[in-house]
Amino acid sequence: MKPLVIKIGGAILEKADALTQLLTVIAQLQQQQSTPVVLVHGGGCVVDDMLKQAGFSSEKKNGLRMTPAEQMPIISGALAGSVNKQIVATASQVGLNAVGLSLADGNMASCSLNPDGLGAVGIPKAQHSKLLDSLLKAEFLPVVSSIGMIGTVNNEAHAGELVNVNADDAAVVICQLLNAELLLLTDVNGVMDDTGSYLADLTENQASKLIEAGVISGGMTAKINAAFYAANQLRRSIAVASWQAPEQILTLLSGAAIGTRIIPSNAA
């Protein structure tokens, strides 16, 4: 059975019941369909709260978080610490054997600094799947936070430093490592067009027009860009759907349509 990578973040992390319901569905996937699952998460809402408590302000550029180096201890502590371990603890309550990880563990991914002046923000590249392969074979649920590490390619001056990674990009890397299906969960039922209707599928050309018109904006822009990157790399469609009806995930692997399907350019 092909693995399934599920990315979560944002509002679901503030709703304990919704997270529990999603993890219960993941347990059913493992038990009833023998589907290996990896859960990848961000947690911008928690990061914002912890930065505010520490006296820092949060800024974004094109939907991506600006990350001054002095904020990384707080951001890594929030994502790889508080959020990651809360998900692991909740997973254990529904019978899952969860293991909390970051992109840096097991040399899963190596990062380079984002060149767009975002600070300690990394662009991840898939490296080794050995750790994930071992955990999935043993029926664990890897829970991967979007904290990465700068690699040593070209003897980069920042090698070994921790960086913040967009969680959608982190999910793409994990998907590439495992040749897995990818599901990006958000707090809406999919991508809307300019009339406010949800689209069953979306091509890159359509997305460009919606972004240009401001229909797709902010964090959704980053999510859609990551989804198209994944779809084009994997040469298959990617689902963007809501975590508010997690039972739909049980039908996804049987070919049912949920949310908005992101169509790779080679299939458009």
Separation of alpha carbons 110 and 128, rounded Å: 9
**SS3 state at 105:** helix
44 annotated ligand binder = yes
Q: What are the C-alpha distances in Å from 12 to residues 53, 80, 193?
A: 21, 17, 24
Is 235 annotated in a binding site? The answer is no
Among candidate residues 9, 42, 44, 219, the one labeled active-site is: 44
Catalytic residue among 9, 10, 106, 219: 10
Q: 187 catalytic, yes or no?
A: no
CB count within 10 Å of CB 185 equals 24
Classify residue 205 as exposed, middle or buried by CB count within 10 Å of its CB (0-12, 13-18, 19+). exposed
Task: Consult the annotation and say whether 148 binds a ligand.
Answer: no
Pick the catalytic residue: 119, 168, 190, 259?
168
Which of 42, 105, 190, 223 is labelled catalytic?
A: 223
Instruction: Choose, from 7, 81, 100, 106, the residue flagged as catalytic.
Output: 7
Q: Does 168 participate in catalysis according to the annotation?
A: yes
Closest by CA position to 243, among listed 8, 67, 44, 71: 8
**Per-residue tokens: 262:** 């992101």
Q: Residue 266, annotated ligand binder?
A: no
Buried b vs exposed e over 107-144: b needs ≥16 C-beta within 10 Å? ebbbbbbbeeebbbbbbbebbebebbeebbeeebbbbb
Torsion from C-alpha of 131, 240, 203, 145, nearest 10 degrees: -40
52 an active-site residue?
Answer: no
Residue set of the binding site for substrate? 43-44, 65, 164
Positions marked catalytic: 7, 10, 44, 168, 223
